[in-house]
Structure 1
């Protein structure tokens, strides 16, 4: 989400951090939308530190109230002139171009800080003095040359420039918030008020009166050109254009209203008499291959393209009168630029995992060639871990003939309560007599038989 500030020293593009400071961003966006910041002076300039703006009248006017939030501006309620400013703990004033809302402590609660409309842009690095005093909501992404001009401006002892530096116009490049009740976007930039004109020190007269004696049609044309530049800048930021000032090639001809049966070779043969053709392509549907009834013809030079434009307008081709114009498409230029950029990025990549040669993807399970298929998954232990487990039990003892296997065949006595005759031989066949000596059960039985005799 971005906003373009047109100032008297150049344009400044601000990216808004809506995920971290949604309320601050909404207030700033809506104030820009109603042209609240137009003709606001830049003041409190501190070299290599910061400057402040956002008050339509500025500190030189006695009628200035310091600015107002969008909710107070729309409702006219003095209690909504300010709002509690949220401070995100991860946002710090560490780099040049950090944009934050100016705040003041609440009179009833000094620990709570409130904001209105004024904002601060840093002109230096490591300006952490502002961390607890200004709430960050954006950062400058373009227009650092304009920041440098403000940084070098001649100012008085209070930081007010002798030659006025002001916000002329604001353009919203993207607005994700719904408009609050009562918001009406003006159709054009309103002229400065009389009170704003009284705050002018030394102004650029040409810029100040550039719209004087200009009819409404010319003003609308200028506004559209300004919006077109802003939209082109948005496409550049999104990566859809290589640069905002890109222009379509002058040697490419656009032909439309074609008959669906007209082929590339037909057009190349007809238009080839005006000059050498580098490419001729009828645009077709990607799925069906049917002609979309328009084409692009690229000539070797601009002169051949101009001659074809003048000679082929409304010419009958395959029972259709075609329409010819100069191409307004930059898609081919964008494709070439994007492909070149991607190739350079791939050439710089070092391979490996995540582009780092030394890193390797984490291995969670066994190697692919060790995995089995079917019902036996065996995903927990690999060959190395299972090595030797056939020779030893899971409790670490040897699994040979000397191991005690009595537990394998012994039934659970808790189930039937019967005496188990398959217990350990030493425990079943041996007992201790009264004299303390151990005797074998078979010897005892023999003694009983002899005694009976």
Structure 2
């Protein structure tokens, strides 16, 4: 007598000991028949020991036998079967969980190692895995928290009865189709979803990983600069119409560069950066074009070009200082205009007051 258990980690075929454990096998088969185990989580995985499931509440404290389904809470559990004695001596044995009162309901576990004889006389073995040991290995290798709960959302997706020697009892609520997942199950946020990867770098090349790390580092640095006020926004991008030119000859002037680069379009501003104290060229410059297309054309044509016996290097500007300079000028201008307005108003008020005092003297 067999049952196929389809899980999100693979399929398992269970052969049942229906002669040695008739009540347990009847309970398991009829629960499978009414799709009771569908969507149940494998909520406990202890490496090289067991994995446990069979609780629709996924807490380890729920579940009921088929007799509880048929006859109510008074039949939620039934007596454990101990004769003949079947020991937990090999990997792949399926056993009903003892609720602490020598009674069993719906929860069961499957052994993941041999010689677990300390489980004997506590729980009830009623079958063994016939196929699907690779699935057991997949479940056994799952990463879990301190309470042995797997981080990945592993579930029984379906159960199929391959052979059932027991007749269905009257009033057995056999569904017409498998149950659909509820909204709270779909929106569960405390587990890694089936299509998510535990290792984010899985399947990526070394170059892709390096690029992602660089992007994360740049983003972190931008966040820090935003916090200390050096950036307006972490996503702030440099202007796309400004060209950076370096490796210049110290004798090259802003006027020289403007004449040379003006063939690509109208230049708004061209400035060779100089030392504030000495006025000497620092041998790099910024050239602002009217349009980004003109800047791109200059970038493609002018890199490694010889100017004043020096081969220059051209790249797009990565500086956002232009944005800050412009905004600072606006703030300074606004502050200056505001000050002038206050002074003018004070002057007008003073004039009015003096004129009023003079009128009083004349009268």
TM-score under structure 1 length normalisation: 0.42
Match of 1:67 among 43, 63, 86: 63
Matched, 1:159 2:148: yes
Equivalent position of 1:125 in the other structure: 114
Looking at structure 2, the residues matched to 40 and 175 of structure 1 have their Cα atoms a distance apart, in angstroms, of 22
Offset, 1:65: 4.9
Query: Alignment partner of 2:63: what SS?
Result: coil
Name structure 1 gaps, 5 residues minimum. Answer: 107-112, 207-453
Q: Is the 8 A contact 1:92 1:128 kept in 2?
A: yes
Superposition pairs of residues 295-310 of structure 1, within 5 angstroms = none
Structure of larger gyration radius = 1
Structure 1 runs (4+) greater than 3 angstroms displaced: 194-200
Query: Alignment partner of 1:121: what SS?
Result: strand
The structure richer in helix per residue is 2
What is the aligned length? 195
Offset, 1:199: 5.1
Equivalent position of 1:87 in the other structure: 82
Offset, 1:161: 0.7
Looking at structure 2, the residues matched to 5 and 28 of structure 1 have their Cα atoms a distance apart, in angstroms, of 12
Cα distance, 1:198–1:103 mapped onto 2, change above 3 Å: farther
**Greater RCO structure (CA 8 Å; 6+ sep):** 2
Q: Is the 8 A contact 1:99 1:139 kept in 2?
A: yes
Equivalent position of 1:333 in the other structure: none
Equivalent position of 1:104 in the other structure: 99
Equivalent position of 1:138 in the other structure: 127
Offset, 1:71: 1.2
Matched, 1:116 2:111: no
Offset, 1:136: 0.6
Superposition pairs of residues 129-208 of structure 1, within 5 angstroms = 129-197=118-186, 201-205=191-195
Offset, 1:180: 1.5
Offset, 1:10: 0.3
Q: Is the 8 A contact 2:87 2:120 kept in 1?
A: yes
Superposition pairs of residues 378-393 of structure 1, within 5 angstroms = none
Cα distance, 1:58–1:102 mapped onto 2, change above 3 Å: same
Q: Is the 8 A contact 2:98 2:123 kept in 1?
A: yes
Query: Alignment partner of 1:137: what SS?
Result: strand
Equivalent position of 1:21 in the other structure: 21
Q: Is the 8 A contact 1:39 1:169 kept in 2?
A: yes
Looking at structure 1, the residues matched to 118 and 65 of structure 2 have their Cα atoms a distance apart, in angstroms, of 24
Offset, 1:198: 5.8
Q: Is the 8 A contact 2:20 2:84 kept in 1?
A: no
**CA deviation profile, 1:70-118 (whole Å, cap 9, x unmatched):** 111133x111111111113431000000001001232xxxxxx000000
